[in-house]
Chains A and B, each alone.
Chain A
Amino acid sequence: MKQFISFVRKEFYHIFRDARTTMILLLMPVILIILFGYAITTEIKRVPIAIFDQSRDELTLKMTDRLKASEYFELYTIVDSYKDAQALFRQGKVHVIVVFPPQYASTPDAQVQVLADATDPNEATQLIAYCSAIIAEQLRGELAVESKAVTPVTTLLYNPQMKGAYNFVPGVMGLILILICAMMTSIGIVKEKEMGTMEVLLVSPLKPIYIILAKAIPYLLLSMVNIATILLLSYFLLDVPIKGSLLLLVSVSVLYAIVSLCLGLLISTVADTQQAAMLISGIALMLPIMLLSGMMFPIENMPDILQWFSHIVPAKWYIIAVKDVMIKGLPAVSILKEVGILSLMAVVLVFLSVKRFKIRL
């Protein structure tokens, strides 16, 4: 035990002596949260819009006002011809153009045309939906008496304001934990191999399992500091609530951190240089998390093969569990499946990497 403690102490020296890396590790969650919270956002806000109003009656003017007043759109200009409208599109000045037909108010089955720039299909879909909703609402107000159409009442559960933060905060947690635990652990172990100190340790009476544990513990603690940073920032800065049990949230995070540590350990048995370790963690871990964890792109829309592949990305299960606990406020029972899968992954990875680590002796 004394051996072990002197060894853990050494790992902390390594981390804190390398001030630059430590700063990066501590600041990274802050930067990611601010970036995702304020800069990189998929929310629609003040999108430039142009209106081609061929009728200019009371109704279309009201609709124009409504569009102008909405926080989603900003009126770029009123155009007088299709040609002008298309020119604006080509120059990229506007993303949406609303066309009102002549004599709109007096024509019973007249229709409003909404043109959207679909180079970004997701944005275009959202813009059209918002635009139609605003127009439909105005129309309903005007024709309230005559309208017999069924109007659906929608309620957005868990995230009524449709804030992006509710989605990316769990994503960033998944990303940071992998980054610290897997990447830094693998680099730390491979560094000892590269420097030749690993041999000296293996010749010593220190058990290999202690060497591994001593490497993992400091990064586990560091990653918990990061989780705390993320939760504090998202709670106070981005107003993301923590609806469920904090203890449960932290427990799931520790479990996921352990899975990440095992991944890092596995990588360290494969990689021979620090660069290789960094590259493998970058490509084999970061990319799947960004693309296949559901953090940025919905998994449901992916081809079957990618959906299958996404099942083996630990971050996917962690992010689901975090959303369930943090955003929906669900109890432990509801994330049993995710916890089970993550635990299974941890066991398999521990088995694989300890086996591989032994072979190296």
Chain B
Amino acid sequence: MKAIEVKQLTKRFGTFTAVDHISFEVEPGEIFGFLGANGAGKTTAMRMLCGLSIPTSGEARVAGFDVYRESESIKRNIGYMSQKFSLYGDLKVWENIRLFGGIYGLSKQQLSRKTDELLDILGLEKERNTLVDSLPLGWKQKLSFSVAIIHEPKIVFLDEPTGGVDPVTRRQFWELIYEAAARGITVFVTTHYMDEAEYCNRVSIMVDGKIEALDSPSALKRDFKTTNMNQVFHALARKATRGE
């Protein structure tokens, strides 16, 4: 079974077609990069897969469940980290962990074990009682990712998870992603940092609501006869007619 299966998925807002007949598949355990300029339709597509928005037409199955009829089942099997910060700044680190663990129905024992484990991996034991607001952005993002996969979902959706941090911090963040993928969690990530695109197993590039390219970063570089993803992206994005 594929982790994600999308066929001719479309979303229209009035006369505007935000997502225009896109089709792709994501394998279990894969790190799938979903690239595109602002306004290309990535977030809309991702929202449909998460059950936040109902497609206008087309088919999509996430973790084997239909997005139209089985969104409740999808919600139990996915994790989500939003573009804006997904934790509560006025709650302490452990309170955030407990809250999201509680929402996903973790038992008391599971929760306390997970909390210790998670703080240990992130090196945040000392910050257990710190308000999340006072953590540096990079730490917040790592914590936010760990909380998004606290219930060991089949798939985790990351919407521009590393906005605003430097490449070194991004690299550290990606180590967490690799660990999750190694455990079998499928990672679906949108980004517009091309160094991140290089870390993905496969990437798709969206332009004006359509998927214009889909392959591994190395294959794409070969096809476009360049040495970096930046040039691949610009070659495609130049065709865009939609502004921001």
Q: Which residues of A contact B (CB under 8 A)?
A: 2-3, 5-7, 9-10, 13-14, 17-18, 195-197, 199-206, 361
Contact = CB atoms under 8 A, between A and B. Distances in A.
A14 B53 CA distance: 28
Contact of A17 (B76, B80, B82, B90): B90
B95 interface: yes
Nearest to A360: B52
Contacts of B78: 203
A204 B103 contact: yes
A2 B87 contact: no
12 contacts: A3-B102, A6-B99, A9-B99, A14-B91, A17-B131, A196-B82, A197-B82, A197-B85, A197-B88, A199-B80, A201-B103, A204-B80
B50 interface: yes
B50 to A, nearest CB: 5
B149 to A, nearest CB: 13
A10 B88 contact: yes
A196 B88 CA distance: 10
B103 A199 contact: no
Contacts of B100: 204
Nearest to A211: B103
A203 B80 contact: yes
Contacts of B83: 196
A203 B52 contact: yes
B154 interface: no
Contacts of B84: 195-197, 199
Nearest to A198: B82
Chain A at the B interface: mostly helix, strand, loop or mixed?
Answer: helix
A10 B91 contact: yes
A2 B82 contact: no
B199 interface: no
B117 interface: no
A196 B43 CA distance: 13
Nearest to B108: A2
Residues of B in contact with A, size category? 20 to 34
A196 B103 contact: no
B99 A205 contact: no
Contacts of A6: 98-99, 102-103
Interface in B53-94: 53, 72, 75-76, 78, 80-91
B209 interface: no
B103 A7 contact: yes
A201 B75 CA distance: 10
A13 B102 contact: no
Interface of B: 50-53, 72, 75-76, 78, 80-91, 95, 98-100, 102-105, 131, 148, 157
Contacts of B157: 203
A14 to B, nearest CB: 6
A9 B100 CA distance: 12
Contacts of B90: 13-14, 17-18
Contacts of B91: 10, 13-14, 17
A194 to B, nearest CB: 8
Nearest to B131: A17
Contact of B102 (A2, A17, A195, A202): A2
Nearest to A192: B88
Contact of A205 (B52, B81, B104): B104
Given A14-B90, A17-B90, 15 more contacts: A3-B102, A6-B98, A6-B99, A7-B102, A7-B103, A9-B99, A10-B99, A197-B87, A197-B88, A199-B52, A199-B82, A200-B80, A203-B75, A204-B75, A206-B103
B99 A196 contact: no
Nearest to A203: B80
B82 A200 contact: yes
Given A3-B105, A203-B80, A204-B103, A196 B85 contact: yes
Contact of B104 (A10, A17, A199, A204): A204
Contacts of A14: 88, 90-91
Nearest to A14: B90
B103 to A, nearest CB: 5
Nearest to A210: B103
A205 B89 CA distance: 22
B14 to A, nearest CB: 15
A17 B104 CA distance: 24
Contacts of A13: 88, 90-91, 95
Contacts of B99: 6-7, 9-10
A18 B91 CA distance: 11
B29 to A, nearest CB: 21
A358 to B, nearest CB: 11
Nearest to A18: B90
